[in-house]
Structure formats: structure tokens, C-alpha cells
Amino acid sequence: MGRGKIVIKRIDNSTSRQVTFSKRRNGLLKKARELSILCDAEVGLIIFSSTGRLYDYASTSMKSAIDRYNKLKEEHHQLLNPASEVKFWQTEATSLRQQLQYVQECNRQLLGHELAGLNIKDLQNLENTLEMSLKGIRMKKEQIFTEEIKELNRKGNLVHQENIELYKKVDLFGKENAELKNKVNGVKEVNEANKTPHAPHTVSNGYDFQAPIHLQLSTTQPQNNEAHAKAMKLGYISSN
């Protein structure tokens, strides 16, 4: 549930009024400091409490802010009179030179030089300015580092996924090569088996038709020759 709308009027209770003053004063000083840093604005803030106590903040120095205010107010009145235009630009040039000198002096002070003329309050303001600047620089630096780390993590994840896909492809190629190797070995074994000589499958009746034929004259048995001689002799005798 949101806070109710606060009626802007004087707080009667002195304790509540002092607490509110303290809180809002600190908030106003903080906002003035942030405005001067974020927007590069020259800010001068003066606060008087109900008891007459002074609280102020100046992004540069209170004297410079008041002088600049008085000068611009005077220049505004001078612009209403056209005859004072030349004098106005002369004064403007002088003011710009003074501002340049002041900026150079502030830069040297930020670097830690020419601090002899500063009092405790000026040194405190300078320290606060440096702390706010360092805080902004560190935040920006941390943001850049965080973004770079996220980008590196994203690229690392992509590389990891690519490695996984490559491992899968290499494994698949290995399996395909093994299958091809097995097929090649099987074909080789079949070819070698076909080259081995086998005996022809023939129907045989006791004669080897493939065997070479050798012809030779054979002599008759002695008994047959004697019988033939006897027969020839008897025939010869009978014919006679």
C-alpha cells in the first residue's frame, strides 16, 4: 500500500519538524551534488535552519557561485539597454577568461596540486566530488566487465556446442569406416575363397576321360603265340 499524500504546511510539532528538516536537507544536498556531477552544472545551495544554522553546498565554491549569480543578474539588466552591448561583451570575455582560469585551477586541485589555499570545507567538497566521480567510474567499469563476461560466456557455450557436434560427427564417421572396413574384409575373403582350386564335379563310370591317352604295341602272350603257330602248322599241313 502506497504512502498517503503529505499536506505541505508547517509542522507544528518541533521534534517532527526537526526530523523532517534533517531528512529533507540531506536529500536536497545529495540531489544538488548528483545534479552537478551528472549534468556538469555549477550548483550553489544555501540553507538556513529555523534556528539560524547555515548549511550550504557548492559544486565549485560558494563565492564563485554567488559572484556568477550577481554578474548574470546585472548583465540581464544591462541587456535591457542596447547602448551597453559593447560593454556587455567585454565583460563576457573577461568572465570567460576567469571561468577558464577557474576550471584549470579546479583540474589541478583534482589532481592534488595547488591545495594550499583551500580550507577544510573546500577540501571536504573536493573529496566528495572525487568520491562521486570514482563511484561513477567504478560503476561504468563494472558494467563493461559484466557485459564482456556475459559475451565470453555466450561464445564459450557456442564453442562447447560446436565441439559436441564435432565429436558426434567424428564418432559417426568412425562407425561408418568400421562398417566399410568389415564389408571390404568380407569381400576379400570371398574373393580369396573363389581363387582356391577345387576338384571338378564329374560323373565317372570308371574311366577318366580327362586323362591323356597313351597308345603302344602290346606283345601277345607266349601261350597264344604257340597256339597260333600250331594252328598255322596244321593248316599248312592240311592244305598240302
Q: How far apart are CA 172 and CA 179, in angstroms?
A: 11
Please write the tens of the pLDDT for every residue from 32-71. Answer: 999 999 998 999 999 998 888 999 999 888 898 899 888 8
- Residues 6+ positions from 95 with CB-CB distance below 8 Å: 71
Give the pLDDT confidence score for residue 203 in this predicted structure: 46
For residue 15, give the C-alpha cell.
Answer: 521534534
Going by pLDDT thresholds of 50, 70 and 90, the confidence category of residue 212 is: low
Measured over the CA atoms of residue 91, residue 94, residue 95 and residue 96, the dihedral's sign is: positive
Q: If you average pLDDT over residues 175-204, what whole number do you get?
A: 73
pTM attached to this predicted model: 0.33
Q: How far apart are CA 22 and CA 55, in angstroms?
A: 11
Largest CA distance in the chain: 197
For residue 235, give the C-alpha cell.
Answer: 593248316
Task: Check if the beta carbon of residue 131 is closer than 8 Å to that of residue 123.
Answer: no
Q: Range with the lowest mean pLDDT among 103-117, 120-134, 156-170?
A: 103-117
**Amino acid identity, position 89:** W
Please write the tens of the pLDDT for every residue from 168-186. Answer: 999 999 899 988 888 888 8
For residue 73, give the C-alpha cell.
Answer: 543578474
